[in-house]
Structure 1
Amino acid sequence: MANFSITRRHAGALLFGTALTALSPLSAIANPQPGGTLTITTTPEPALITNALSSAPTTAELATKIFDGLLEYDMNLKPIPSLAESWSTSADGKTVTFKLREGVVWHDGKPFSSADVQFSLMEVVKTHHPRGQGNLGPVTSIDTPDARTAVFNLAHPYPPLMMGLSSLEAPIVPRHIYEGTDFRNNPAVNNPIGTGPFKFTRWEKGNYIQLDRNEKYWRPGRPYLDRLIFRFIADSATRAAGVERGEIDVATFGTINPVEMRRLEKLPNLSIAQGGYEAIAPTMMLELNTQRAPFNDKRVRLAVAYALDRQFITKNIWYGFGKPATGPISSVLKGAGAFTDQGILRFDGKDRLDVANKLLDEAGLKRGKNGVRVKIFHDPAPFGEDWRRMGEYIKQALSRVGIEVELRNRDYPSFVRQVHNEYDFDMTSTWSIGMADPTLGVQRQTWSRMINPKVPFGNTAQYSNPEVDKLWEAAQTETDTAKRNQIFHKLQETLVADSPLIWIMEMDLVAVQNKRVQNLITSPLGIRGGLYDTWLQR
């Protein structure tokens, strides 16, 4: 890695700097120091780095530095300006007008305009992003009366619209690069041009991706850093050693075993970067293929849900970086009223294994002479060693109720192809972004209109339930907050009782950081933000 040894002299590390936690003395320094290289390790290496076409976690971590969205969000999840400097909504809620920022240019020097917004959202994001339908579903067209005005026309008022216009959810891509091309096969997918704080420079496959400072970024004086290096290291122990030695500044969640994270956070130069995931409400889950045996039978799905000990998984596999999930909607939305745990089927009773065995008997899956009722394949998410460890636990836990599990550990491209494109799986583990409104992130997992093998990370379970569809569609149009929350409560009750997915844990997507890094967490998107305010204390 030719440039790495040179730039490492300027690399700092990471600080416990978030509005949600007490700040260390270093974070109180008022004068940011420009320059330096921030080195981040993440896993797995992404298949592509344009997140208008993918919601894969590592794609999002990279692409949100390259692209901007119309909006960003403060720590209270309130929309704040980005490429849009102001906006207004019509009295009937069916027209939203955005005034765009003047003087913004793409990384290739071409001017940014409303035509880019119209093209990006209607032609690319709405069709190709896994959450595009949720974010932009009722947007029927976008008018561009002039270069600085984008007028969204909606089929009906849509309460969640303003929560899904960040660079994470709705990145603005250059029309002059993509128009008239096959988007997924356009060379710009992996040689991207954006308006964001950092420019794509280099990708050495299997090693690192380099992003350099956008000297023409529209935020004055930003970004502070000269360079971002995203390193891909195959072994978790090697990643942990790199953080400990100061060779790596930030290790994203999942790159280091949780037990090692607990050890590293005790070292004087390192800490856990708290917060920075409030706007994405991440939840860990198992996806079940509801279109083939045995999981086309609800009783078998429920038996698996009863057989798994979520408390054990949270404590002993993920070392407390989260809490057991009760259903599809995260408890981070409790304050907004969308979450409930009342009337929701629970799987943690003392007799849970007895219940699981009874359900399997009722489903006609009797034990054979060897005690096995049925054999299934389980594809653990290819996001690191801890997912494989959880797979081993699942194998042991299900064997207790007569389900034999064969683990298939695949590389990331193979996993996406077989699970998300070909639906060739029985059960898989994954985690998903729920977002600040369930319509934006959670809906795609169980809304039948999101069954699409061309768009990964949608309704992978291929679950189709007319009652659930009607509830999701009612939530899209209901403007009364109390009534809308009641719809979400009914969805939680219905989905948990049917269990097309098994919700395991609400995740704390914390990173390990070196305390020299300042302002790593400055928004509810955390390291999935632009990092333009991040700087290094040297």
Structure 2
Amino acid sequence: MTSELDRLPFGPISRRLFLGGAGAAAATLFIGQNGKAFAAETGQKGGTLTMAVWPDPTALVCAFTSSDQVVLSSAKMTEGLVAYGYDFLPRPRLATAWEPSADGLSIKFTLRQGVKWHDGTDFTSADVAFSFLNLLKPNHPRGRGTFANLTAVDTPDAHTAILRFSKPSPVVMNALSGMESPILPKHIYENGDPLRNPANNAPIGTGPFKFVEWKRGSHIILERFDGYWAQERPYLDRIVMRIINDAGARAAALETGEILLAGPNPVPYSELARFRANPKFDVETRGEELLQHAQAIEVNLRNPILAKVEVRQAILQAVNREAMARAVWYQSGRPATSPIPYQAGDLRLANPPAYPFDVKKAEALLDAAGYPRGADKMRFKLRLDWLPLGEANLRAAEFIKQSLQRVGIDITIRSSDLPTYLKTIYGDYDYDLNVFLYAPIFDPSMGLQRFYWSKAAKPGSPFVIASGYSSPEMDKILESASTEMDPAKRKALFHDFQRLAMTDLPVLPLLDLDYTAIISKRVHGVMDMPEGIRGSFENVWLSA
């Protein structure tokens, strides 16, 4: 059967970001002009951008998952109320103006007029209200925390939406981009289970590109939406996302020009120097500012062995994270000292409880926990799962196995495909240790609360607390931080969060990471906004 693919030719963080975003928005009314795209370099029209995605995404709409593969495609077809610039302040998108109330209990949005869904239906405030209350708040992995205090969305007319909160919610103004909180069409989702809606695999959005085809295991095709609200955008005619699971194959496809863009971390880190030396490519570390990245081990506290904090401390002290950064990430990472990464500046606590590499200390902790070495020199057995998104995670699992076996912990590495992994870890909670990647995001209430707040737990929700951790003290800290409007007090709460997180250790921070994308010099405009490869691509264009 002929597919659409057969017919194609190939060829330093601002403090306002973390602590003052909502307050800054409250002081200023941001107004955009209808039909105007963000300032960007004027480009050439036409052409097909071919890029790599891996593995095959589980869906194409990111309202119900934070999986990177889903975000990469979703954000080109769906939009949020705002986008964010490199100054981390909001820019107009589906909303042209916003006005938070002085008490922090409401935000009034003026919506862009003349916007159409890809099926020709008018975009209205009813779509905004339905998206927040019926889709994002109950179903998005981070939405249950971000929008916990959202109680209503008033729609006095078709182009006004007023979000109302039971408590101040400063995090919300940091969570309104298309890659985080996409607005979806009420008329498509109002009937039936939204998680099973066919539009999750064939999206209908308002974005610059519309869905054409998804052939699983092969490709995803998007094409220019001629009814897009931003005049003269997008530049590209089509985007083809090829599913290329093998890192070597991605490297070869880049070098031959079969694909023009790949990320994040598309090739083994050992090969980055070769691409940096190639004048045909840019190796970008920009485009990750909104997310930030880290690697950690989530511990299943339901296991009675791992329920002992001395065992968790020993595991962390048994891993030489400096050596891990060299061996696994080729110095594109550095040892983590808390769940909040180094990119966060002074939001990160300077001296949290520390667990430096110390094999003797790890051995002593395991002995004190009541687990001496047996006749086989091992103390106990654990299973180690790893997120199947790139070989670096497998190498990390192998490094951790060697480290833990040195102190007498017998490790079995379990490998699986992504759907099986997600079900095992986040659906069945059938694991011991899980080495995974996560995005702390520029506001910890968005990116980190989901791993520590007991009320976020929901079986089957990927990349949300799976450890079984429950601490009333932690819940109180996180809930207070999510409602605190004073920047200094909110910062102090995040410092308290780190102290407790590094004392209780339901998650063992390993490394803060610097992600990369490899982009042909023929491709322009990808980094116009800090979403980078996860952006809308409305300003992306190709030179000859």
TM range (shorter): over 0.9
Task: Name the structure 2 match of 1:164.
Answer: 175
CA distance in 1, matches of 2:309, 2:392: 28
Task: Name the structure 2 match of 1:354.
Answer: 360
Task: Name the structure 2 match of 1:420.
Answer: 426
1:52-104 per-position Cα deviation (integer Å, ceiling 9, x unaligned): 01111100111011100001001010011100000111221111100000000
Task: Name the structure 1 match of 2:310.
Answer: 299
Task: Name the structure 2 match of 1:21.
Answer: none
Is contact 1:519–1:533 with CA below 8 Å preserved after alignment? yes
Task: Name the structure 2 match of 1:482.
Answer: 488
1:301-343 per-position Cα deviation (integer Å, ceiling 9, x unaligned): 1111111122122222111223222111122221xx422222x
Is contact 2:265–2:516 with CA below 8 Å preserved after alignment? no
Is contact 1:251–1:513 with CA below 8 Å preserved after alignment? yes
Task: Name the structure 2 match of 1:465.
Answer: 471
1:11-59 per-position Cα deviation (integer Å, ceiling 9, x unaligned): 5xxxxxxxxxxxxxxxxx9541111111111221111111101111100
Question: Is the aligned partner of 1:41 residue 2:52?
Answer: yes
Q: 98-107 or 269-278: which moved more?
A: 269-278
CA distance in 2, matches of 1:3, 1:400: 53
Question: Is the aligned partner of 1:499 residue 2:505?
Answer: yes
Task: Name the structure 1 match of 2:398.
Answer: 392
Pick from 58, 71, 94 the counterpart of residue 83 of structure 1. Answer: 94
1:376-410 per-position Cα deviation (integer Å, ceiling 9, x unaligned): 11111110222111111111111111011111110
| TM-aligned CA deviation for residue 6 of structure 1 | 4.9
**Counterpart of 1:419 in structure 2: which amino acid?**
I
> Secondary structure at the residue paired with 1:428?
strand
Question: Is the aligned partner of 1:61 residue 2:47?
Answer: no
Q: 309-318 or 445-454: which moved more?
A: 309-318
CA distance in 2, matches of 1:161, 1:460: 24
Give the 5 Å matches for 1:509-524. Answer: 509-524=515-530
Pick from 61, 84, 105 the counterpart of residue 73 of structure 1. Answer: 84
Task: Name the structure 1 match of 2:14.
Answer: none
| TM-aligned CA deviation for residue 5 of structure 1 | 6.2
CA distance in 2, matches of 1:51, 1:2: 25
> Secondary structure at the residue paired with 1:219?
coil
CA distance in 2, matches of 1:394, 1:454: 26
Task: Name the structure 1 match of 2:442.
Answer: 436
Pick from 90, 93, 97 the counterpart of residue 104 of structure 2. Answer: 93
Is contact 1:40–1:250 with CA below 8 Å preserved after alignment? yes
**Counterpart of 2:276 in structure 1: which amino acid?**
E
CA distance in 1, matches of 2:324, 2:308: 25
Using structure 1 for the length normalisation, give the TM-score.
Answer: 0.93
Task: Summarize the Cα distance change of 1:7–1:322 in structure 2 as closer, same or farther, 3 Å threshold.
Answer: farther
Q: 143-152 or 470-479: which moved more?
A: 470-479
CA distance in 2, matches of 1:182, 1:479: 36
Pick from 257, 263, 270 the counterpart of residue 252 of structure 1. Answer: 263
What stretches of structure 1 of length at least 5 have no aligned partner? 12-28
* Runs ≥4 residues deviating over 4 A: 1-6
CA distance in 2, matches of 1:67, 1:31: 23
**Counterpart of 1:471 in structure 2: which amino acid?**
I
Q: 204-213 or 256-265: which moved more?
A: 256-265
Task: Name the structure 1 match of 2:8.
Answer: 7
CA distance in 2, matches of 1:461, 1:55: 18
Question: Is the aligned partner of 1:366 residue 2:372?
Answer: yes
1:453-487 per-position Cα deviation (integer Å, ceiling 9, x unaligned): 03221112121111111110111222221111111
Task: Name the structure 2 match of 1:237.
Answer: 248
CA distance in 2, matches of 1:97, 1:474: 23
Task: Name the structure 1 match of 2:347.
Answer: 338
| TM-aligned CA deviation for residue 294 of structure 1 | 2.1
Task: Name the structure 2 match of 1:402.
Answer: 408
| TM-aligned CA deviation for residue 435 of structure 1 | 1.6
CA distance in 2, matches of 1:30, 1:129: 34
What stretches of structure 2 of length at least 5 have no aligned partner? 12-39
> Secondary structure at the residue paired with 1:58?
helix
CA distance in 1, matches of 2:147, 2:237: 35
| TM-aligned CA deviation for residue 234 of structure 1 | 2.8
| TM-aligned CA deviation for residue 262 of structure 1 | 2.6
Task: Name the structure 2 match of 1:279.
Answer: 290
> Secondary structure at the residue paired with 2:69?
helix
| TM-aligned CA deviation for residue 417 of structure 1 | 0.6
> Secondary structure at the residue paired with 1:173?
coil
Is contact 2:128–2:161 with CA below 8 Å preserved after alignment? yes
> Secondary structure at the residue paired with 1:472?
helix
Is contact 1:302–1:498 with CA below 8 Å preserved after alignment? no
Task: Name the structure 1 match of 2:28.
Answer: none
> Secondary structure at the residue paired with 1:265?
helix
Task: Name the structure 2 match of 1:141.
Answer: 152
Pick from 301, 310, 322 the counterpart of residue 290 of structure 1. Answer: 301
CA distance in 2, matches of 1:231, 1:505: 30
CA distance in 1, matches of 2:76, 2:317: 41
**Counterpart of 1:486 in structure 2: which amino acid?**
A
| TM-aligned CA deviation for residue 357 of structure 1 | 0.7
1:237-260 per-position Cα deviation (integer Å, ceiling 9, x unaligned): 111111111111111123321112
Aligned residues: 515
Is contact 1:8–1:247 with CA below 8 Å preserved after alignment? no
> Secondary structure at the residue paired with 1:440?
helix
**Counterpart of 2:473 in structure 1: which amino acid?**
E
Q: 471-480 or 52-61: which moved more?
A: 471-480
CA distance in 2, matches of 1:381, 1:101: 39
Task: Name the structure 2 match of 1:26.
Answer: none
Is contact 1:254–1:386 with CA below 8 Å preserved after alignment? no
> Secondary structure at the residue paired with 1:420?
helix
Is contact 1:43–1:254 with CA below 8 Å preserved after alignment? no
CA distance in 2, matches of 1:531, 1:238: 24
